[in-house]
Structure 1
Amino acid sequence: MSVPAATAPTTTAPGPSMPSSRKPSTVLLWLARLKPDTFTLLLVGTVVLASFLPAKGGMIGVANGATDVAVFLLFFLYGARLSREAVIGGLTQWRLHLLVTLCTFALFPLVGLALKPLVNLDILTPDLYLGVLFLCTLPSTVQSSIAFTSIAGGNVAAAICSASASNLLGMVITPLLVGLLLAKAGGGFSADALTSVFVQLLLPFVLGQLLRSRIGDWVARNKKVLGPVDRASILLVVYGAFSHAVNEGIWHQLDLASLLKVVLVDGGLLALILVLTTVISRRFHLSRADEIAVVFCGSKKSLVSGIPMANVLFAGHAVGMIVLPLMLFHQIQLMVCAVLARRYASNHPPGYVAAE
């Protein structure tokens, strides 16, 4: 998934002769950075489409079959693209990778469990809390974590290794965490769901890895052609999930106030994790470049992995409601980290050179 244009580093600046009235205001520049990326707009459009034209009757079976094929293809291509060398090559920086892994699969879930009282306080519904808890179990993003680390002047090589390893581990750890946390939170979870994850997600990923020596170069050469396949697969899963949710009356259960509460909870969750990853990095006396990698890799959650996993793990449940916190968190993390990356980049000490 590509990072929005708002995250690209600024390469030009107004010349000294430009009249002050022609210079964009600080407020306008700040708002430009918060502009939603194209993929987010497509997600919103898909939700709107499913809200007005949900799959019904015989189309439900067609949509479910197409979704299964799309998810299989998505994880097959991901397996074919993921470089094992990138993960193996970074194992020497074990402290950094251990911190990212612990933040992703231990710190986040613990914070998610601590948010359980929000249900009793009527801030989150049980399904929305389940969605927040689910996003806390997901692996980190890959593309955006690396891009923001690069913009901020961090350890890009370490970010590549950590983000890739996080997604690889998430294939196994996320389903196990979901089962464990749902039991703690009083939710239901079946062993069949774990089996479905391994068959529908892990199997195509492994097949992609096994065939990488044969098709890896072809996949790399056709990145621009295959890129839309990722997005189309996610959009198809979102359409199917929200079609089911609309048929079950999601918009009668979710009002604007509830939606705003989810945004505030997601924003607070991200802010807390960003502070904690920064503090932990400094307590471990990591270099500035490594701190940046930990902050950006350890605070992200992958929409690309999360929505297909939710579709498999929570089959028969209100999947649309469960993935809603993740979809909102996705956009919030992009906007906040775009600003944070620029702040890191503008505060480099004299003579600083980013690690590659």
Structure 2
Amino acid sequence: MANKISKVLQSQSFTLALLGAVLAAILFPELGVKGGPLQTQITTKIAVALTFVIQGLSLPTRQIAASATKLRLHAFCQVSIFLVAPLLMLGYMTVVGGLLHPGIEAGFFYLAALPTTISSAIVMTSNSEGDSSSALFSTTLANVLGIFATPLLCSIFLSASSEDGPQLSTLIGKLSMLVLAPLVLGQLIRPLVRDWAKASKKLFKRLSNSFIVFIVFAAFCQSVSSGIWGQIGLAAVLLTLVLTLVFLFLFSSVVWFSSPLGSSEKPERIAAFFCGSQKTLASGVPMASILFASLPADGNMAIGLMILPLMCYHPLQLFLAGAISPYFAKIAK
């Protein structure tokens, strides 16, 4: 029994670390505020850049290029990620958005505007006997397109809902400097250190996760110090969790049942499901720290509020993927 509990805790170590970062922010908010001891207005930017350098180092360039030919499948994945998800979320928020704090409601749209995961989508596709090489290309393409598509979608939504909505050109410029440039740098360095990069996957993952936990800590320190969480209360957090779960099932169902539009082959449909329905925490948290850095911590659009739906979606999508992976593995044969 103790071994089973230990394995479960180990498998969810990243989620637990995120919860620990939130708890630490509640207890010691003064550490992570702008101008505080950790100088998070500078160190979070460094953490963002290093996160994407690591991502660039981790991506196998040759394998990505080799799996680029399935245009129909890749087009389906990108449409699911950047068109279906936002439109579905707009409809969903029309129904339930009135129940939510404006910052959390905006956070749901931010969730929908994000690209997909890379590592977990590929791993889950492989575990489910899906086409993992196609998953690699689609997820990588989505994360590059997300540098432009995510701020575009956020700019449209936030400009319509808040006078503080960020300017599109400014957002893309910041993301290009702190996301795209480090990602490209990592890819340029990779051929020189390919063997070391392959052998350092676990190290890269730990470092990347540590940077994300730090960014989450900084974001929540800002919002806790502003007193915004006292205004919202625990009930709003629990409601966010429930509504995130409902959206996950809705969106996942839409992607799976429409996946024949991407391919008639079961392995490719499985790849399309995981690539099209997952949302990235690894890129989403760093991007939020850039996109919404100019928004006041004590306003309706505090970063801590806006990443809450994403932090709920991340573990839920992993639980769902783990539950359905054995079924997918059977139908793929």
The two structures have a TM-score, normalised by structure 2, of 0.88
Separation (CA, whole Å) in 2 of partners of 1:284 and 1:173 = 21
* Contact residue 129 and residue 328 of structure 2 kept, 8 A: yes
Q: Using a 3 Å threshold, how does the CA distance of structure 1 residues 36 and 242 change in structure 2: closer, same or farther? A: farther
Separation (CA, whole Å) in 1 of partners of 2:90 and 2:8 = 32
Q: Using a 3 Å threshold, how does the CA distance of structure 1 residues 284 and 192 change in structure 2: closer, same or farther? A: closer
Question: Structure 1 residue 84: deviation in Å?
Answer: 2.7
Tell which deviates more after alignment, 180-189 or 98-107. Answer: 180-189
Alignment partner, residue 27 of structure 2: 52
Cα deviation code 1:23-71 (max 9, x no counterpart): x9xxxx9xx9899711000000010001110125742662222212111
Question: Structure 1 residue 339: deviation in Å?
Answer: 0.4
Separation (CA, whole Å) in 1 of partners of 2:147 and 2:132 = 23
Q: Using a 3 Å threshold, how does the CA distance of structure 1 residues 285 and 305 change in structure 2: closer, same or farther? A: closer
Structure number with bigger Rg: 1
* Contact residue 73 and residue 262 of structure 2 kept, 8 A: no
Determine helix, strand or coil for the equivalent of 1:59: coil
Cα deviation code 1:308-336 (max 9, x no counterpart): 00000001331111111100000110111
Q: Using a 3 Å threshold, how does the CA distance of structure 1 residues 154 and 252 change in structure 2: closer, same or farther? A: same
Determine helix, strand or coil for the equivalent of 2:130: coil
Question: Structure 1 residue 161: deviation in Å?
Answer: 1.7
Question: Structure 1 residue 120: deviation in Å?
Answer: 5.7
Give 1:46's aligned amino acid: A
Q: Using a 3 Å threshold, how does the CA distance of structure 1 residues 140 and 296 change in structure 2: closer, same or farther? A: same
Alignment partner, residue 279 of structure 1: 257
Give 1:134's aligned amino acid: Y
Q: Using a 3 Å threshold, how does the CA distance of structure 1 residues 120 and 97 change in structure 2: closer, same or farther? A: closer
Alignment partner, residue 101 of structure 2: 125
Query: Match for 2:43 among 39, 43, 66?
Result: 66
Question: Structure 1 residue 284: deviation in Å?
Answer: 5.4
Separation (CA, whole Å) in 2 of partners of 1:67 and 1:173 = 22
Q: Using a 3 Å threshold, how does the CA distance of structure 1 residues 86 and 186 change in structure 2: closer, same or farther? A: farther
Q: Using a 3 Å threshold, how does the CA distance of structure 1 residues 34 and 270 change in structure 2: closer, same or farther? A: farther
Q: Using a 3 Å threshold, how does the CA distance of structure 1 residues 119 and 271 change in structure 2: closer, same or farther? A: closer
Alignment partner, residue 40 of structure 1: 15
Query: Which runs of 5 or more residues in structure 2 are unaligned?
Result: 296-301
Separation (CA, whole Å) in 2 of partners of 1:284 and 1:46 = 39
Separation (CA, whole Å) in 2 of partners of 1:284 and 1:86 = 21
RMSD over equivalenced CA pairs, Å = 2.4
Question: Structure 1 residue 242: deviation in Å?
Answer: 0.5
Q: Using a 3 Å threshold, how does the CA distance of structure 1 residues 179 and 170 change in structure 2: closer, same or farther? A: same
Give 1:43's aligned amino acid: L
Check if 1:320 corresponds to 2:297: no
Check if 1:81 corresponds to 2:58: yes
Query: Match for 1:155 among 98, 107, 131?
Result: 131
Separation (CA, whole Å) in 2 of partners of 1:255 and 1:222 = 42
Separation (CA, whole Å) in 1 of partners of 2:181 and 2:228 = 32
Question: Structure 1 residue 216: deviation in Å?
Answer: 3.6
Separation (CA, whole Å) in 1 of partners of 2:92 and 2:161 = 10
Check if 1:199 corresponds to 2:177: yes
* Contact residue 80 and residue 277 of structure 2 kept, 8 A: yes
Residues 103-114 of structure 1 mapped to structure 2, 5 A cutoff: 103-114=80-91
Tell which deviates more after alignment, 127-136 or 180-189. Answer: 180-189
Separation (CA, whole Å) in 1 of partners of 2:34 and 2:118 = 38
Alignment partner, residue 348 of structure 1: 331
Check if 1:260 corresponds to 2:235: no
Determine helix, strand or coil for the equivalent of 1:153: coil
Cα deviation code 1:155-181 (max 9, x no counterpart): 122112212222222222222222233
Q: Using a 3 Å threshold, how does the CA distance of structure 1 residues 315 and 285 change in structure 2: closer, same or farther? A: closer
Residues 184-223 of structure 1 mapped to structure 2, 5 A cutoff: 184-185=160-161, 188-190=165-167, 191-223=169-201
Separation (CA, whole Å) in 2 of partners of 1:289 and 1:234 = 32
Tell which deviates more after alignment, 161-170 or 308-317. Answer: 161-170
Q: Using a 3 Å threshold, how does the CA distance of structure 1 residues 110 and 245 change in structure 2: closer, same or farther? A: same
Tell which deviates more after alignment, 324-333 or 179-188. Answer: 179-188
Question: Structure 1 residue 204: deviation in Å?
Answer: 1.4
Question: Structure 1 residue 292: deviation in Å?
Answer: 0.8
Separation (CA, whole Å) in 1 of partners of 2:216 and 2:22 = 7
The count of corresponding residues between Structure 1 and Structure 2 is: 319
Answer 1 or 2: which has greater helix percent.
Answer: 2
Determine helix, strand or coil for the equivalent of 1:211: helix
Determine helix, strand or coil for the equivalent of 1:168: helix
Determine helix, strand or coil for the equivalent of 2:106: helix
Question: Structure 1 residue 337: deviation in Å?
Answer: 1.2
Q: Using a 3 Å threshold, how does the CA distance of structure 1 residues 60 and 128 change in structure 2: closer, same or farther? A: farther
Give 1:321's aligned amino acid: L
Report % sequence identity.
32
Separation (CA, whole Å) in 1 of partners of 2:207 and 2:8 = 27
Query: Which runs of 5 or more residues in structure 1 are unaligned?
Result: 1-23
The two structures have a TM-score, normalised by structure 1, of 0.83
Alignment partner, residue 299 of structure 2: none
Q: Using a 3 Å threshold, how does the CA distance of structure 1 residues 149 and 120 change in structure 2: closer, same or farther? A: closer
Give 1:109's aligned amino acid: P
Alignment partner, residue 92 of structure 2: 115
